[in-house]
Amino acid sequence: MPRFTLSPRVIPPALIIGLVGLPVLVAIWTGLTAGGGETWDHILNNRLVPYTLTTLIVLALSAIIMFGIAVPAAWLTSLYEFPGRSFFNWALILPLAMPGYVMAYAWADLMGVAGPLQSSIREMTGWSARDYWFPNLFSAPGLAFVLASTLFPYVYITARAAFTMQSLATLEAARSLGTQPLGLFWKVGLPVALPTILGGVSLALMEAAADYGAADFLGVQTLGVGIVRSWMSFGQPDTAARLALALIFIASAFLIAARLFQGQRGSQQTSKRWLTPRRVPLRPVWGASASLVCGIILLLCFAAPVLRLIWLAVETRAVTQDLWPLLRTTLLLGAMGTIAAFIAALVFTLATKRNGALRFGARIAAAAGYAAPGVVLGLGALYLLKVSGQALSGTIAIGFLLWIYVSRFTSAGVEPLQSTLDRLPKSLDDATRSLGVRGVRQFFRVDLPLLAPGAIAAGLILFVEILKELPATLMLRPFGWDTLAVQAHAYATDERLPQATLPSLLIVLAGLIPVILLSWRLSRTERT
């Protein structure tokens, strides 16, 4: 355990660490101490096992789909040259801008009985809807496909980084021995990169476990749906808190797995270790096949759903309430949440770099908040409001909502900042002190300029994540503070999908610009 040294300078970061971790602790405490009741007895005897099994099945299928999509695409764009490679290299990250619930709305319309896919089948064959089988999106496999389509970029980014950083000497030796491209992938590339890739899969599954909007719309009874339903439909916060314990356990297991896999990254000690493998031009047939594979992935996971939403909005000329208040509220909450979470991440990164105990506490608090789904943190906030006797309205509700954003997403901001800090020379602090630059002056003149690249990435990631957050916003927003996500979900659950298209498209558009900037930045930082 790191040694803790008490000084006035550790008080502010220690308080922020406590604020970030408190909602998780409250949610766990509430679940452990909550009383029983008829509702809980009914769920324990009849619904807990189905909720849990359905959640695990969805996560397992999502992992398989994400691995199958992201790893081949990352291998192709990292090691081979083919038509469109430079475009697909960054464009495959674009699905990050689309929340799972928006993807569900689009594919539900595309795959519905009256949708274009089934209508085309009937027109070409003359069959009726009962004469053929068609995949059912409103199922656990359907939900897994939707979640994997939006979350696979997490795995793609980590896999691409792992393949790019592999030993040039090892790959060239395998090629010189006559290893074919497919064998090179299975026997050399994948085994070395597997720990890093599995770490990315674990982090993506944490996000999948936190889903509520897509599962609720598709009617899949996951733990997240059960928690919100227990609170909103049955008015049983104690039952919801107990269900939340199971979700916390699952998410924490994925967090631990991610950390373990990150600690098992392979080390290749060769003189050419840090040279990026040269991309090998593919023959025309194989190059066209690689372009086709990447194009199909981008079409299914981004282009087709976005184009369908645009077509649906234009075709139906759906009338949606004034969107400006919704957009303004969404951007305002996103900006305020990003600023608050970024400040917390910056304090975690800078104030803890010379204090082992604070660094340990910051990592635990940030990881716990990131592992806890938004619905769980929302329950913790509601319990604190209940204990304090405050009403969920006005500035109090906004303050609690921003607090939950900070608790949930600070870890997403810490990672790029910490990675930037870790690449700086260890002697930099000593050199700065020897020149008499300390405290606030050191922060503004030395630390902040050097952290600028990581700070930009952190801000973009935080804004996109907060923009897509649904359950916590749904639970804690005050009256008159509906966001695009809340309104789109309300329309979709009322089976008014055409009205949900414009808010959904605005969510994608608002998140698309930061994702493009992030993707461009990741592409520029690659070794070429």
Domains 1-33+321-528 and 37-295 share a fold: yes
Residue 352 pLDDT greater than 70, yes or no: no
Residue 439 pLDDT greater than 80, yes or no: no
Q: What's the pLDDT score for residue 183?
A: 66
Count Cα atoms within 13 angstroms, Cβ side, for 140.
16
Q: What's the pLDDT score for residue 107?
A: 94
Token pair for residue 384?
């604190």
pTM of the model: 0.84
Lowest-confidence pick of 285-289, 403-407, 445-449, 473-477: 445-449
What superfamily in CATH does domain 1-33+321-528 come from?
MetI-like (1.10.3720.10)
Lowest-confidence pick of 175-179, 279-283, 503-507: 175-179
Residue 164 pLDDT greater than 60, yes or no: yes
**Rounded Cα gap, residues 497 and 501, in angstroms:** 7
Residue 267 pLDDT greater than 60, yes or no: no
Report pLDDT digits (tens) over 395-435.
Answer: 888 888 998 898 888 877 777 776 666 665 665 555 666 65
We find that the CATH architecture of domain 37-295 is Orthogonal Bundle (1.10)
Phi then psi for 80, rounded to 5 degrees?
-135, 155
Q: Which helix (DSSP H) or strand (DSSP E) does residue 281 occupy?
A: strand 280-281
- How far is the CA of 501 from the CAs of 111, 301, 306, 357, 491, in angstroms? 16, 17, 10, 48, 9
Percentage of residues in the chain having pLDDT higher than 70: 80
Do 129 and 113 touch, CB atoms closer than 8 A?
yes
Q: Centre a 10 Å sphere on the Cβ of residue 84 and count the other Cβ atoms it contains.
A: 17
Residue 209 pLDDT greater than 80, yes or no: yes
Of 102, 103, 150, 210, give the one whose Cα is nearest residue 488: 102
Q: What's the pLDDT score for residue 442?
A: 62
Q: What's the pLDDT score for residue 68?
A: 94
> What's the rounded mean pLDDT across residues 430-446?
59
Residue 66 pLDDT greater than 60, yes or no: yes
For the chain, the structural domain boundaries read: 1-33+321-528, 37-295
- How far is the CA of 292 from the CAs of 20, 100, 515, 523, in angstroms? 45, 25, 23, 21
Q: What's the pLDDT score for residue 272?
A: 45
> What's the rounded mean pLDDT across residues 469-475?
84
> What's the rounded mean pLDDT across residues 84-91?
91
Of 442, 375, 425, 362, give the one whose Cα is nearest residue 404: 375
Residue 177 pLDDT greater than 60, yes or no: no
3-class SS string, 70-111: HHHHHHHHHHEECCCHHHHHHHCCHHHHCCHHHHHHHHHHHH
> What's the rounded mean pLDDT across residues 465-471?
85
For residue 280, the SS3 value is strand
Work out the pLDDT band at 172, boundaries 50, 70, 90. Answer: low
Lowest-confidence pick of 133-147, 178-192, 210-224: 178-192
